[in-house]
Amino acid sequence: MTSDDDAGTRGDLEGVAVRPPEHLRPDHDLSSFRNGLHASLDEWLQHRALASEGQSARTYVVCDHAAPFPVVGYYAISMAVVQRGALPTAKLRRGLPEQVPLLLIGRLAVDRRFQRIGLGTALLVDALRRCLAAAEIAGARAVIAHAIDERAAEFYRRHGFVRSPLGDRVMLLPLETARALVEK
Ligand SMILES: CC(C)(COP(=O)(O)OP(=O)(O)OC[C@H]1O[C@@H](n2cnc3c(N)ncnc32)[C@H](O)[C@@H]1OP(=O)(O)O)[C@@H](O)C(=O)NCCC(=O)NCCS
């Protein structure tokens, strides 16, 4: 998988016929997308993502190579702010103001027919690259992700995120860990 701009994943999904991640557009075919576990993630993509685009979130999609190029995976990134005291470790809190900027991966899902071939991992790495690029420009201390259930929390944990006191299944990855992960 290669990406549509410099922030994206390159070559992380050899042999899987998906197009590079791209910004969600009105002409993307979202109609067949089903993650198979949480209908709310399908509904948000199909009915709400476009309205949020660029206003409160940015959604990136990957499409199947086979025409008519249906969307088979997506994630959404937005900004978040938390109170410094809510960060889990003294190291994370050090030197920060009361209001700490973070980047949020609010949603990430893969169509059920494309799961367990590495696409979710490739999307996560792509999302982290974009978070790092955003933090280069504006500054952010960490990336957080809302895991929708315990299985999703385990998915994030395997990729280096830790549980945080910011909310139920709010997983956190310090920026320096994200950098190490994408440079691996
Ligand atoms: C969570 C989710 C995004 C993961 O997507 P995915 O594409 O299946 O993720 P991956 O393929 O990268 O990894 C999933 C599993 O497949 C395995 N896998 C990856 N590539 C593989 C391959 N080529 N062959 C066999 N197994 C493989 C991974 O090791 C992992 O296994 P594990 O769960 O036993 O550790 C997806 O299951 C999903 O959309 N779930 C519903 C929505 C959801 O829970 N979203 C989470 C955030 S809210």
Query: What residue spans define the domains of the chain?
Result: 22-183
d(CA 177, CA 183) in angstroms, rounded, equals: 10
Look at the block and give the residue holding tokens 């702010």: 81
Residue numbers annotated as active site: 156
Residue 163 is classified by DSSP as E
Residue with the smallest CA separation from ligand 1 atom 24 is 117
The pLDDT of residue 47 is: 97
**Per CATH, is 22-183 categorized as 3.40.630.30?**
yes
**Polymer length in residues for the chain:** 184
Sheet of 58-63, strands arranged across: 22-23, 58-63, 71-83, 99-110, 142-146, 170-174, 162-163
Q: Model-level pTM?
A: 0.91
The pLDDT of residue 99 is: 97
Tens of pLDDT, residue by residue, the chain (184 residues): 545 543 333 334 555 679 999 999 999 999 999 999 999 999 999 999 999 999 999 999 999 988 788 999 999 999 999 999 999 999 999 999 999 999 999 999 999 999 999 999 999 999 999 999 999 999 999 999 999 999 999 999 999 999 999 999 999 999 999 999 999 8
The pLDDT of residue 13 is: 57
The pLDDT of residue 28 is: 95
The response to whether residue 73 sits with its C-beta less than 6 Å from ligand 1 reads no
The pLDDT of residue 65 is: 86
Ligand 1 mean position, distance from CA 151 (Å): 10
The response to whether residue 121 sits with its C-beta less than 6 Å from ligand 1 reads yes
The pLDDT of residue 66 is: 81
